[in-house]
């Protein structure tokens, strides 16, 4: 099953209720947390996540692009996140962060930037709900997808299958109805889409197109 997670970053923040209504067919809501340190941009914090969680009918997929993720995991869990992902590049104790997310009753995911290999991910697959393969350098929506990252998706899917696990693979950055089939063919099963969903007139139609319908 392919799931689509529209990225809130591309929504109209002055009208979030209406924006959420317009993506009623979405499987997850991707929430980008940026601290202006780990990435050169600031976006969305705990209060907005909490308000959105109250009105969003779909589970929240919270993508932490922050330093010291261990200090914020609990707050985002309490705010209503269902999935919490953090970057292997964030210089944290990866295993401690995974354990913390699980202790909060949430689903953990590891994120790797386009230039980062799978070394930190592969030994931990059995502890993860999901791996997020970035297909752009994180920080901003609306960038062009680096399709060479799909090779990493394929290698990861091969290893997940070899180990007989059911870890999900999410791709994030510049995903469109045009390149989505190649991401899915490589083994991705969760597609984050900011511009290609919120930039469309009919958002649910854009979601269907991403799924190949
Ligand atoms: C990038 C964010 C993405 C972004 C995706 O740093 O992690 O989730 O919002 O937006 P698009 O689909 O427009 O690239
Ligand atoms: Zn993201």
Q: Which residues, other chains included, contact 117 with Cβ-Cβ below 8 Å and sequence gap of 6+?
A: 152
Domain spans of the chain? 3-210
Is the C-alpha dihedral spanning 204, 56, 173, 85 positive or negative? Answer: negative
Does ligand 1 have an atom closer than 6 angstroms to the CB of 153?
no
66 closest CA partner among 57, 75, 58: 75
Does ligand 1 have an atom closer than 6 angstroms to the CB of 199?
no
pTM above 0.75, yes or no: yes
Bridge partner residues of 87 (DSSP): 111
- At 72, is the secondary structure helix, strand, or coil? coil
**What pLDDT score does 35 carry?**
98
**What pLDDT score does 19 carry?**
98
**What pLDDT score does 98 carry?**
98
Query: In the CATH scheme, what architecture does the domain 3-210 have?
Result: Alpha-Beta Barrel (3.20)
- Cβ atoms of 49 and 60 within 8 Å: the answer is yes
CA 36, CA 211: separation in Å to the nearest integer? 33
**What pLDDT score does 65 carry?**
98
Instruction: Give the tokens for residue 72.
Output: 């914020």
Q: Residue 24 — pLDDT band, cuts 50, 70, 90?
A: very high
Average pLDDT of every residue of the chain: 98
For ligand 1, the distance from its centroid to the CA atom of residue 152, given in whole angstroms, is: 18
For the stretch 98-129, pLDDT in tens is: 999 999 999 999 999 999 999 999 999 999 99
For ligand 1, the distance from its centroid to the CA atom of residue 179, given in whole angstroms, is: 15
- Residue percentage of the chain with pLDDT more than 70: 100
Does ligand 1 have an atom closer than 6 angstroms to the CB of 41?
no
Q: Residue 86 — pLDDT band, cuts 50, 70, 90?
A: very high
- Cβ atoms of 195 and 142 within 8 Å: the answer is yes
Is the C-alpha dihedral spanning 38, 44, 47, 49 positive or negative? Answer: negative
- Residue percentage of the chain with pLDDT more than 90: 100
Q: Give the ligand whose atoms come closest to the C-alpha of residue 137.
A: 1
């Amino acid at each position: 099953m392919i799931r689509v997670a529209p990225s809130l970053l591309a929504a109209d923040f002055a009208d979030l209720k209406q924006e959420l209504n317009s993506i009623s067919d979405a499987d997850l809501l991707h929430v980008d947390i940026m601290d202006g340190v780990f990435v050169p941009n600031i976006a969305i914090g705990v209060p907005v996540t909490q308000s959105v969680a109250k009105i969003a009918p779909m589970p929240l997929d919270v993508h932490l692009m922050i330093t010291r993720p261990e200090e914020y995991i609990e707050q985002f869990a309490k705010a209503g996140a269902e999935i919490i992902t953090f970057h292997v590049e964030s210089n944290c104790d990866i295993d401690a962060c995974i354990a913390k997310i699980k202790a909060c009753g949430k689903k953990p995911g590891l994120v790797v930037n386009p230039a980062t290999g799978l070394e930190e991910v592969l030994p931990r697959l059995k502890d993860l709900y999901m791996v997020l393969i970035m297909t752009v350098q994180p920080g901003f929506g609306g960038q062009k997808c680096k399709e060479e990252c799909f090779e990493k998706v394929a290698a990861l899917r091969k290893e997940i299958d070899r180990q007989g696990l059911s870890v999900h693979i999410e791709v994030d950055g510049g995903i469109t109805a045009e390149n989505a089939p190649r991401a899915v063919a490589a083994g991705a099963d969760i597609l984050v889409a900011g511009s290609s969903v919120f930039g469309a007139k009919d958002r649910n139609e854009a979601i269907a197109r991403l799924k190949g319908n």
